[in-house]
Amino acid sequence: KALFYREPLSRFLSAFLFSCRGEQKWRWMCADIFGSSEASFSAAVATLHTVGGTAERDEHVRPQSDFCGGRLRDTLHRYGTVVELDPSSSRTHVRALLGEYVAEDGAVRSAFDRLFPPDGKLQHGHDTHAHERVYEFYSAEDPALVGAVIDFYYRDYIVFHIEPPTFAMEILRNLTNEDKFSKDKMRELEKIVSTNFLLKSPKEIAPSSDGRIQ
C-alpha cells in the first residue's frame, strides 16, 4: 500500500489559489469552501477554525490525517510507501510506484503521461504553483496566518513528521513568545526539526521500534 501527502501550508494555499484566484468557472468552489467567490486569503484562513465548517468536510482542505479512516497515526506503519509529494517529484514517485505497469501497458502509460506530464504541468490548469508562493502569501499579508494554518493542520505535521518551512518556524517561534501559538505544539514541531527526521527527498517515514508512528 502507498500513501502520498503534501506539506499543509502549500496544500491549503493551492486549494485557495485554484478555487479563488483561478478560472472563473471554478469560483463556485471558492464560495462553497470559503464562503465567498471573492474570498481574501485571510478570510479563507479564518474559515478553518469555524466549528462544523466546510474545512472539516471538503477533501481539498480537510486534514490529510483524517483520510483512510482517520486512524493513520496508528496504521501508517502498514503502508509500504509513505512519501511527501511536490510538483517536481510527483511524476518520479508515482512512476516508481507503478513500475512495470507504466512501461508495459499502453493505456496505463497514456493515462500516466496525461496526469503527470513530463514537463511537470498538471492537466486542466490545476497547477497553481503554490509551492513557489508559500512565502509570498504567508509572510506578506499577516504572519499570524502561518500560526492559524499550522494549528489547524497540526495533526498532519505530527502524523507525517512534516518539517514546516524555515520561514514558518521563525514566525511560529515569534508567535509562541507572544503567547499566540501553543508552546506544547511548538515543542513537538521543534522536535521534528531538531532531529532532522525527514532528511531526504523522497521523505520516507520510518516506523519506531514498536511499529507505530510516534
Residue 54 is placed in which grid cell?
466546510
HEC string of 89-120 equals: CHHHHHHHHHCHHHHHCHHHHHHHHHHCCCCC
Q: What is the pTM of this model?
A: 0.79
The one-letter amino acid code at 77 reads: H
pLDDT in tens, 12-61: 999 999 999 988 999 999 999 999 999 999 999 999 988 667 667 788 99
Q: Can you tell me the distance from the alpha carbon of 116 to that of 89, in angstroms, rounded to the nearest whole number? A: 10
pLDDT at 57: 77
Residue 69 is placed in which grid cell?
479512516
Segment 167-173 mean pLDDT? 95
Look up residue 55 and give its DSSP letter: G
Look up residue 164 and give its DSSP letter: P
| Whole-number percent of the chain with pLDDT over 90 | 48
Segment 89-110 mean pLDDT? 71
The one-letter amino acid code at 4 reads: F
Torsion sign across C-alpha atoms 39, 42, 47, 48? positive
pLDDT greater at residue 94 or residue 124: 94
Residue 196 is placed in which grid cell?
532532522
Of the listed ranges 62-76, 84-98, 123-137, the one predicted with least confidence: 123-137
What is the domain partition of the chain in residue ranges? 2-78+127-194, 88-125
Segment 102-122 mean pLDDT? 70
Residue 201 is placed in which grid cell?
527527498
Q: Helical H runs in 36-181?
A: 41-46, 72-75, 90-98, 100-104, 106-115, 130-140, 144-152, 154-159, 166-177
